[in-house]
Amino acid sequence: MTKIKKQSLRLLLSQNIRKIRNIKGLSQETLADLCELHRTYIGSVERGERNISIDNVERIADALGVEPTALLNQDQDRKCLKDIFPHIRKYQEFAVKHGINDIFQDNGGKILQVLLLTGLTILPAREGNDAIDEYGNEYELKSVNALLTKSFSTHHHMNPTIIAKYRKVDWVFAIYEGIELKEIYKLTPQDLEPYYITWEKKWHDTGGKDINNPKIPLKYVRDKGKLLYHCDERVCDRH
């Protein structure tokens, strides 16, 4: 076998081992324990820095719960998708029961999680607010991936009509890191009034030009909001 082919094979092994380990939710240390190998050995294998014996390929595959050939399969991504898609389909079926038609559109999957944790129900007419509670109170729902941005989006055509609608309801802000929900806060119209005043003034000062998606800082939400949920412990209800 040529040096190039050996390098390609080693790289393929390293990529598939790392990928399957992550899918299984295993750390390098846990995988090493299952294989009865040293963690640094697993690390060097996953970096493509070490030649690996057939015996160790079999040990790693057994620990990962796959056939050894799966570690050499260039179509492993497709197989992984095939394996997990039935679970995605079940999640979608569950979401439909809560009024969310597509978990991949408009943060549908995240909205479902927020609804279940807060006890809210989605409002189907999107020209209104986003959700409603058992007492008929309506809410705006906002989410942010804190790994990517430090502020919440609002509305792409902010104007006095939209602001008047916002002044009537509480807002629920969900803070994510990737797909992991970390915190949920509630802010009242009084909490958000400084922003409403600022946006109204800007709209009038610019001759009635709609404001494109003014932001609400994540820090402001944490400072002023009532904490409804924390990833370590659900702390209170929304009222």
Active site amino acids = 130, 140, 142
> Which tokens hold the place of 160?
């006095």
Measured CA to CA, the distance from residue 134 to residue 190 in angstroms comes to 22
Measured CA to CA, the distance from residue 32 to residue 139 in angstroms comes to 48
> Which tokens hold the place of 59?
């040990």
Full strand arrangement of the beta sheet holding 138-145: 121-122, 131-132, 138-145, 170-177, 180-187, 226-230
CB of 132 closer than 8 Å to CB of 123: yes
Measured CA to CA, the distance from residue 54 to residue 8 in angstroms comes to 16
As beta bridge partners, residue 173 has 142, 185
- Buried-state track 17-56, b at ≥16 Cβ within 10 A, e below 16: bbebbeeeebebeebbebbebeeebbeebbebebebeeeb
Measured CA to CA, the distance from residue 11 to residue 61 in angstroms comes to 16
